[in-house]
Every structure is written in C-alpha cells, then in structure tokens.
Structure 1
C-alpha cells in the first residue's frame, strides 16, 4: 500500500496536538468548526505545511451549522494531490490529520486520502488500516459518501463504511449511545443493517 507516500500517519483531536509537537510532523490537515479560534499548539511544531478546513461534524442540516460539502471533500483530495506531487522530494514525512476529537471528520478525511492514494486497494482493507491508525475511528458518513463518488468507487467505500460501523459497534458498544446522542442515529442504523 502506497498510503500517501508518507512514512507516518497520525489522527488525533485538538487536546492531543501538544503531544505530537516533537514527532517531526511535516504535513497537517486541520478540520475544525467554523467558529473555532486558531490553534496555538502549532506554534511549537517545526516547519510544516498546513491546510485548514472549517465545517461542523454533522450528517443532517442543523440551523446555524455548516454541513460537510462535496467542495470540502474536493479540498481534501487537492491536499492529497499536493502530497503526491511533492513525494519525490521527500525522504520521509509525517502527516497529521485532526479534528475536534479525532474520531469523525479527521478519520473521514484520512480515509479519503488513503482511498485516493491507493486506488486499487480493497475498501475493507483500507478501513482496517484506518482502525490501526485510530482505533476509535467513526468516519463522518456524509464525507465518506462524497469521497466515494468523487473517487469513482461506485458505492464500495460506503458499503465498507457500513461494515466498519458494525465492527465499531461490536468492539465499542458505547458508540451506540454516544452517536445517538450526537444525532448520528442514521450511522448506527447503517452498521446494524447488514
């Protein structure tokens, strides 16, 4: 698996950012709420390339909140193209993708980048790799749907997401209550209907 032509992949939440400052991060994709203040932790990082996307972690429209859009996923794919374009000049690299908690938007973004980089890789294998990177991964289904379409995966990424949700519900039963409380019942149902 090529996995972005980067030697190290990290997914985390905002509170974990200070703990990654000494890990020679070369590339950062930040996915945060639109009204979130700039994150101070990056001031302690070495030189790195960073792209910030701002939208809420929702799967249905809510008043005053910004849904993930196809354009946001397009920006993630542009970021991935940039990684590919600079691969030959890089001896090693460390990509850090984060959102508020490192569970939903960031894992969907990382899955998008992995699926882009490894176009022939089986979707279930990609989700297994995602769980190795971030065991608590619960990717935002709207983002994965847009990635599936834009990458021409013909629904296979979304079907693998269902199996991933089923796996997570079995391994981490607390997600059923947690995601329901967050208004993500539809994603729970995706994992239960197999």
Structure 2
C-alpha cells in the first residue's frame, strides 16, 4: 500500500486476531471458509471497515468445497479501490488481512493489494515484502493467477510466485511435505 494510505500491513490467522485488537486496525479483509462462523474477536475491535469473502483454500476442485474464482479476486481489488479512495479522509491506517491460518488465501490477497497499489513495483519485490510481513506466506496459486490476469501483469506475478515457493521450500524443507499433505503438491512442483 502507498505510505500515505496505509502505514501498517498485517497478515494473520483467526487464532491471532485477538492480539491485533490493540493495534488500531482501520481496515480488515476477512477470507473465511463458507461454513466458518464469523470470528468473535472483531466484537472487541475499535470501529473499522471490514469486507468478508467466503471460499475454501484449495487449488483443485473438491466435492462440497468452493474454489477461488475470478470474482473473489475482483472483490479483493474492489476492496483495494475502496481502501485507496478512503485515503482522502485519513492520514494513516492499518490493514489487516486474515484467513484461517494466515498462510495462503490471506497472503495471496495481500500481495494482490500490494501489486494493485504499486503497479510499477517488480513482482519479486512484492513477494519479498510479503515474506517480511508474513514469513510463512504460501499464497494460493489460483488466486495469484487470477490477480496476474486482472492486474495485467503478463504472467510475471505467477513466475515470481514460483521463485517465492522455491525460497519457502529452501527456508523450511518441511513446508513441501506439509503442502503435499494438504493437496497442494502442484504448488510445490511449481517451486523454482
């Protein structure tokens, strides 16, 4: 996000939401499974703007699960547009993006918002900044492919994601096994 619009970016999982309450969160993007209840933690937050999206963290169709779709990423970008528009009425803000674990859907959404707000920044730089915000980031590849298309990044965001996956696997080799167990082996295979 541009410094004049948002001064702090946070990605977390549901279990971490209570610790974020005291951090003056101004904007929240919640990405939840379709059947998951709304997290009670937000009842204790100061007033903030919040958008909720509901879909599963999967990269291949599964029975009774909702795949990420272009419309979900379009909603993320609309959230980003609203965030940029609101910068006129405030000096700074704190953006919190969360999903269940704060690893995949939320990190994909955060890097999408960063790419939208910083169209001239390189894709590798965006993913490096994402890793500074959330070291365990493993962005959902389906969401990133949609973002790549919607932001006219010409495949560069997806290529940078491959390099990011490679860095994550080298940083913690157990990540590859964990992602395979979660049905995300195709992403591990993407790692460069």
Which range, TM-score by smaller chain?
over 0.9
* Number of equivalent positions: 192
Query: Equivalents in 2 of 1:14, 1:45: separation in Å?
Result: 14
Q: Which runs of 5+ in 2 are unaligned?
A: none
Change (3 A) 1:154 1:94: same
Query: Equivalents in 2 of 1:4, 1:32: separation in Å?
Result: 29
- Matched residue, 2:189: 189
- Matched residue, 2:171: 171
- Matched residue, 2:141: 141
Query: Equivalents in 2 of 1:172, 1:49: separation in Å?
Result: 35
Contact 1:3 1:118 in 2 (8 A): no
Query: Equivalents in 2 of 1:162, 1:184: separation in Å?
Result: 13
Query: Equivalents in 2 of 1:18, 1:2: separation in Å?
Result: 26
Q: Secondary structure at the match of 2:120?
A: coil
Deviations 1:77-111 (A, max 9, x none): 00000011111211110000000000000000000
- List aligned pairs for 1:42-191, cutoff 5 A: 42-191=42-191
Deviations 1:3-24 (A, max 9, x none): 6820000000000000000100
* Aligned residues: CA RMSD: 1.0
Q: Secondary structure at the match of 2:23?
A: coil
The structural deviation recorded for 1:31 is 0.3
The structural deviation recorded for 1:27 is 0.3
Query: Equivalents in 2 of 1:156, 1:30: separation in Å?
Result: 26
TM-score (norm 2): 0.98
Q: Which runs of 5+ in 1 are unaligned?
A: none
Contact 1:4 1:84 in 2 (8 A): no
